[in-house]
Amino acid sequence: MKEDFNPKTPDREGVRYLSYGASVDPPIWSAFYQSHRIVDKEEGANDGLVSVESSKWGDYKGTLVNVSHLDLINWTNRLRWLVWEMTGNKRKQGHFRHAWLEYS
C-alpha cells in the first residue's frame, strides 16, 4: 500500500485527515483468527483485517484495543452479543463511537 496506493493517492489540500487503528487478539473460533495471524506476521498488531500501522493516515488519533474490524464497522455478530450478555458480560458499546463524533 505505502509503495503503490499511497503515492498515487495524494492528500487533497484543505481536507483534514484523521485516523484510528484497532487491535484485537481473536479467539481460535473467530472468523478473523487466520487473517489476524497473517497480518500480525507481516505488519504487527491489527483488527483482524487491517494493521495498526496501515491505518495511520493524517492526524493519527490512537489505537482502539480489543476492537475488531467488524466492531469498527458495527457489524458485530448479534448472536455473539446475545450469548455474551446472557453470560453476565456487558457490551463494549459506544466506547469508540464517541471518538468519531468528536470530529463530525
User: Global pTM?
Assistant: 0.69
Note the pLDDT tens digit of each residue in 54-84.
999 899 999 999 999 988 877 766 667 777 7
* Angle 80-25-78 from CA coordinates, rounded to 5°: 15
Note the pLDDT tens digit of each residue in 15-49.
999 999 999 999 998 889 999 999 999 999 999 99
| C-alpha gyration radius of the chain | 16
Element (H, E) at 68: none
Element (H, E) at 21: strand 18-23
**Residue 101: Cβ-neighbour burial (10 angstroms; 0-12, 13-18, 19+):** exposed
